Chains A and B, each alone.
Chain A
Amino acid sequence: MISTKRRVFLKGTLAAGTVGAAVGAGLLAPSKLLAAWSDDMFRTEGMAEAMNAVAGTTDMQQSDDIDLSAPEIAENGAVVPVSVEAHMDNVEEIAVFAEANERSLTGRYVFASGAKPKASMRIRLGDTSDVVAAVKADGNWYMTSRNVEVTVGGCGG
């Protein structure tokens, strides 16, 4: 279903001239134009690929205005509680990455106006990992990170 949507989207933009030309030439990744679930973001091999697919860059400014809460030590990597709250204006999106997971993007949260830019979740860590919270505010990406030591990994089994 996802791939069908994407095909329809591509067909639409390819017919639309300039944007279509840019997509066709590989200048714009379709994922950056389509705010939805996409293989480009979620089926990746590592952090750089996932970050690029989500934000178009791996170079994000460190920010103290992002609260990221995660345990220092997780005995069970299958269930690691993570909370993110952004204390900035005009937050469109929060993305949570786990550097040690091959599919590094864990989740994206897109906020409508009236929603507080915060989310709490439980994630899997295959190994000890930096957990990165990235926040898109006013069109720019900011990030903060925290290391979580995992005693027993949580992806296989």
Chain B
Amino acid sequence: MSIRIRAQEQDGMINVRTLLSHPMHTGDQTDDAGETIPEHFIQTVEAKRNGETMVTAYWNVTISQNPFLELEFEGSSGDTVEISWEDNQGDTDSESVSVR
């Protein structure tokens, strides 16, 4: 699993584009053997600037596989943007970048 983040500042606003690597199984899909794949999906995503939560997203199974998310919030070049997630099976991941 991995998180890719692109964070760029323009006119005092940070534009954040992130790609989260995750299967986002809906619970309706079957594997090659015909067995149902249990639902496995990101439920919560947090976007932080310098440690402060700016946006929290809550997701359903109906967000596409390997989710893409674009957000915007106030900030400056050099700020730290952190993206973290937690899924329904308790897995988590997080990644930080310095704003360009």
Q: Report which A residues bind B (CB closer than 8 A).
A: 1-2, 36-37, 41-42, 78-80, 83, 98, 101, 103, 105-112, 114-116, 118-125, 154-157
Contact = CB atoms under 8 A, between A and B. Distances in A.
Contacts of B64: 78-80, 122-124, 154
Contacts of A120: 68-70
A110 B29 contact: no
Contacts of B73: 112, 114-116
B45 to A, nearest CB: 9
Contacts of A98: 62
Contact of B90 (A1, A106, A110, A122): A1
Contacts, number: 102
| Contact size range, B | 20 to 34
State the majority secondary structure of interface residues on B. strand
B32 interface: no
Contact of A119 (B43, B62, B71, B75): B71
B65 to A, nearest CB: 7
Contact of B57 (A79, A107, A156, A157): A107
B53 interface: yes
A79 to B, nearest CB: 5
Q: Identify the interface centre among A80, A116, A154: most chain B CB within 10 Å of its CB.
A: A116
A155 B26 contact: yes
B72 A107 contact: no
15 contacts: A41-B58, A79-B64, A103-B60, A106-B60, A108-B57, A109-B57, A110-B57, A112-B53, A115-B72, A116-B13, A119-B55, A119-B69, A121-B69, A124-B63, A155-B61
B57 A115 contact: no
Contacts of A1: 90
B89 to A, nearest CB: 10
